């Protein structure tokens, strides 16, 4: 089969296999994000394999350990959010961009915290690729904050460390207390009024 057509065929087959593997990997990550984001006792690698329609061996070929799977899920989520923050750096209204992103991160927190806790339970040490991706998200959030401060819509006497600590604190409160929409809105009203420029 050493004809040009045969080589093309073989090469095509390898490409298809690689494309299949990539699609499997992405589907496993999607399902794992959904399953572990919901938390609860039933979350397991077996359930991920079942819902992704692949064998458990396929999951372990891509992610040798549960820790590796959860690290990848969490890192991808941070990366996606960092990309959203970077896109918002070009938004016409820097204040709305910053506050909207803050609000979005708080709303997203319960699922993210669920995944992070599953990672800790699985033995993750908090020093992997997710931690790096988290640091990059924080930097992008800081750039949004700075732009909003330069535009005069966020007070200029606060710095990233305390604003990020406030974001994390409110996120954890929102995830822990399971507030309804109204309570979360009032919580954010307090924080956003506190971040407004002093008159």
| Interaction residues for a copy of itself, span 130-169 (CB under 8 A) | 157-159, 161-163, 165-166, 168-169
| Interaction residues for a copy of itself, span 36-65 (CB under 8 A) | none
When the beta carbons of 27 and 142 are compared against a copy of itself, the nearer one is 142
Instruction: Report in angstroms how near the CB of residue 80 gets to a copy of itself at its nearest.
Output: 24
When the beta carbons of 87 and 183 are compared against a copy of itself, the nearer one is 183
In whole angstroms, give the CA distance from residue 62 to residue 14: 17
Instruction: Report in angstroms how near the CB of residue 180 gets to a copy of itself at its nearest.
Output: 9
Q: Is 192 in the site for a copy of itself (CB under 8 A)?
A: yes
In whole angstroms, give the CA distance from residue 33 to residue 76: 9
| Interaction residues for a copy of itself, span 69-128 (CB under 8 A) | none
Read off the tokens for 66: 């549960």
Q: Which of 80, 125, 174, 181 binds a copy of itself (CB under 8 A)?
A: 174
Q: Which of 35, 115, 153, 170 binds a copy of itself (CB under 8 A)?
A: 170
Query: 37 Cβ partners below 8 Å, 6+ apart?
Result: 110, 111, 112, 114, 115
In whole angstroms, give the CA distance from residue 163 to residue 89: 18
| Residue/partner pairs of 39-48 with CB below 8 Å, 24 or more apart | 39/114, 39/117, 39/118, 43/118, 45/69
Q: Is 195 in the site for a copy of itself (CB under 8 A)?
A: yes
Query: 73 Cβ partners below 8 Å, 6+ apart?
Result: 29, 32, 33, 36, 115
Binding span for a copy of itself by CB under 8 A among 15-23, 35-43, 124-132, 186-194 = 186-194
Query: Interface residues with a copy of itself (CB under 8 A)?
Result: 157-159, 161-163, 165-166, 168-174, 176-177, 179, 183-184, 186-187, 189-196, 198-199
């Amino acid at each position: 089969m050493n004809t040009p057509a045969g080589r093309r065929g073989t090469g095509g087959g390898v490409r298809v296999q690689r494309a299949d593997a990539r699609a499997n990997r992405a589907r496993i990550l999607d399902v794992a994000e959904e399953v572990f984001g919901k938390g609860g006792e039933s979350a397991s690698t077996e359930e991920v394999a079942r819902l992704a329609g692949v064998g458990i061996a396929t999951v372990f070929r891509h992610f040798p350990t549960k820790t590796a799977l959860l690290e990848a899920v969490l890192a991808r989520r941070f990366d996606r959010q960092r990309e959203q923050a970077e896109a918002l750096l070009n938004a016409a209204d820097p204040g709305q961009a910053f506050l909207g992103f803050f609000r979005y991160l708080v709303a997203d927190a319960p699922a993210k915290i669920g995944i992070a806790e599953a990672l800790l339970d699985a033995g993750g040490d908090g020093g992997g690729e997710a931690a790096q991706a988290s640091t990059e998200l924080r930097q992008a959030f800081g750039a949004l904050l700075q732009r909003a401060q330069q535009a005069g819509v966020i007070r200029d006497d606060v710095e990233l460390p305390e604003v990020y600590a406030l974001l994390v604190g409110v996120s954890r409160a929102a995830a822990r207390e399971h507030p309804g929409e109204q309570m979360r809105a009032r919580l954010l009203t307090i924080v956003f009024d506190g971040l407004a420029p002093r008159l």
